Chain A
Amino acid sequence: MKTSRAVAIAERRVGQPGERYYAGRARAVMERSFIAFRSSTWLIILSGFLEPVMYLFSFGYGVGKFIGDIDPGTGTMISYAAFIAPGLLATSAMNGAIYDSTWNVFFKMNESRLYHGMLATSLGPMDVALGEIGWALLRGFIYATGFTIVVAPLGLIPSWWGVLAIPSAVLIAFGFASLGMAVTSYFKSYQQMGFINIALLPIFLFSGSFYPLTVFPGWMQGVIKVFPLWHAIELIRGLTLGVVNAGMLTHVAYFLVMIICGLFFTTRRLNALFMR
């Protein structure tokens, strides 16, 4: 029997561990998102980028005028805008990642039957998970980079450590995209999806973007320190202000765990849904 090229390529992974779940072609799934993206509305993409920029100007320079310079706990006084800029940078990475990994994924899973089609090919569920998460994190990365380009010339990133804010934003976006897709894959209705938005608002407001956590009583600080966005902001703020210590590796570890758990549960769930 003739062996077509498709077959030859798919069979490269014969006998490799995990071949049932991963064919090594998450890139094809990302390529699909790219093709769809080329014809989508740029305005929607742009609005996600503008949101943190508008917060920065409104709060950083507006409210900041009344607050004046503050001590973020380092002993050096900085402008209020420089205090909230890293918080908004982390938030833009989160927003970009969440946008594609939640509502868009929900639509593809339930309305467009896109994953049915993908999983009828020689792709595995982890190709789909990684490809979609990879695309979502790319958007988070683009937002974070865009935001950095806006704020760096304004002098809001005083330390050279701030260069590491971009790779950190990738890590953060990866974490949020993984978790976002994992949670979405378990949700069945639009009502349940609404919970994601309800949960995101307090996370955004209370994770320390606009003021230090010390304003809260101890127990509430403990709760907030569970939120991923708090870890993201602490990590990026430490870098942009140049207050770097080994303790920041905890934040990195937090996101690594988030990525692994998100990928694991997404793959498992896709397998349960589409490979029953």
Chain B
Amino acid sequence: MSENLIEVRGLTKKYGDFVAVNGIDFHVQKSESFGFLGPNGAGKSTTMRIIAATSQRTSGEVSVLGKDPEIQGPQIRAHLGVVPQQDNLDAQLTVSENLYIYGRYFGLPSKFIKSKINDLLEFAQLEEKRDVKVEALSGGMKRRLTIARSLVSEPDILILDEPTTGLDPQARHILWDRLFRLKEDGITLLITTHYMDEAEQLCDRLMVMDKGSIMAEGSPAALIKKYSTKEVLEVRFGSDRNAEMAPAMQQLCERIEVLPDRILLYSDDAEAVLESIVAGGNHPNTSLVRRSSLEDVFLRLTGRSLIE
């Protein structure tokens, strides 16, 4: 039987009149890689902070490793590794000093930490930067160091808030590779992201959030299967004609979405749809057939695009 490390019921968080998280329920199992997918302001980070015992909930029940973060904050935090959205590395210290002192914050003995630093530097691919001040590192290096830092206390759960936001594609891929290794080691990952490719790559199970509520939950493949068709046809008639063409397109497939710059036609056989458009005498400026993605799931659920 699998073990629930995190259980959340009816979690609500308000800041004054603003409801950041609106009565959500979910659970995370041991060794699972669980993702929160949603646009900025969906309530992902707030939820993460409550689980990480650095924010107090307004109402609802939260249990992390069987403990209540509101009452047993330091005990829960002792089990967690946290990689925040905004880097908070210690800019006055070097790379290895950052790893060392973070372990000290957890109360670890100096000798114990020092014996781990080489492994952590290797994991972060920062062996050559050991004695360099953190300020001199690139964005990708800083993020890898932050992840290595969060591992110094051997956490049971690793919390990653937008781990690759602001990184270039190459740096993102290196980071994903590191996170995969952790996943293989059986560490429980909690990831927020507004990148669908990241969610598809890293998460076993996802929660799609929007405006503080859960819109859907499941594995990436199951979500796509449930909320979208196998394929999507994207056609562009030019921004002034897209809306005008929409009714005709509607006839040809299961469902359409009209975006300002293009129309998305959902069907299990997108090529056939394209053929029938052309057969009807309409010639889109450009067309593209692709597989459905989480972006389509989000669009279906909220009527909005993930990245705006």
Contacts and interface: CB of A to CB of B under 8 A. Distances in A.
Contact of B30 (A1, A123, A124): A1
Contacts of B73: 20, 124, 275
Interface in A107-135: 112-114, 116-124
B101 A19 contact: no
Contact of B54 (A112, A113, A275): A275
B74 A123 contact: yes
B251 interface: no
A99 B86 CA distance: 28
B287 to A, nearest CB: 47
Contact of B74 (A40, A114, A122): A122
Contacts of A19: 72, 74-75
Contacts of B153: 4, 6-7, 121
Interface string A8-46: 011101100001100101001101100110011000000
Contact of A6 (B88, B92, B154): B154
Contacts of A11: 75, 78
B101 A31 contact: yes
Interface residues of B, number: 42
Given A20-B73, A35-B97, A122-B106, A6 B78 contact: yes
A206 B173 CA distance: 63
Given A120-B84, A122-B75, A31 B90 contact: no
A117 B88 contact: yes
Contacts of B88: 112-114, 116-117
Contacts of B74: 10, 13, 19-20, 23, 122-124
Contacts of B106: 6, 9-10, 121-122
Contact of A28 (B30, B80, B101): B101
Interface residues on A, range: 35 or more
A103 to B, nearest CB: 14
Contacts of B107: 6, 9-10, 23, 25, 28, 122
Interface in B59-84: 71-75, 77-80, 82, 84
Interface in B87-134: 87-93, 97, 100-109, 112
A121 B75 contact: no
B151 to A, nearest CB: 11
B55 interface: yes
A275 B103 CA distance: 21
Nearest to A12: B107
Nearest to A123: B105
Nearest to A119: B54
B90 A122 contact: no
Interface string B132-160: 00000000000000000000011110000
A120 B97 contact: no
Consensus secondary structure, chain B interface: loop
Nearest to B76: A122
A116 B49 CA distance: 11
Contacts of B154: 4-7
Contacts of A276: 15, 55-56
B273 interface: no
A251 to B, nearest CB: 36
A58 B252 CA distance: 93
A98 to B, nearest CB: 20
A117 B89 contact: yes
A216 interface: no
Interface of B: 3, 15, 30, 52, 54-56, 71-75, 77-80, 82, 84, 86-93, 97, 100-109, 112, 153-156
Given A14-B72, A28-B107, 17 more contacts: A1-B3, A4-B154, A5-B154, A6-B108, A11-B78, A28-B104, A32-B93, A32-B105, A35-B101, A112-B88, A112-B90, A113-B86, A113-B88, A116-B84, A120-B54, A122-B106, A275-B54
30 contacts: A1-B30, A4-B156, A5-B112, A5-B154, A6-B154, A9-B78, A10-B107, A14-B72, A19-B75, A20-B71, A25-B107, A28-B104, A31-B101, A32-B90, A32-B104, A35-B100, A35-B101, A39-B92, A112-B91, A113-B86, A116-B84, A117-B84, A117-B90, A117-B102, A119-B54, A120-B82, A121-B77, A121-B153, A123-B74, A276-B15
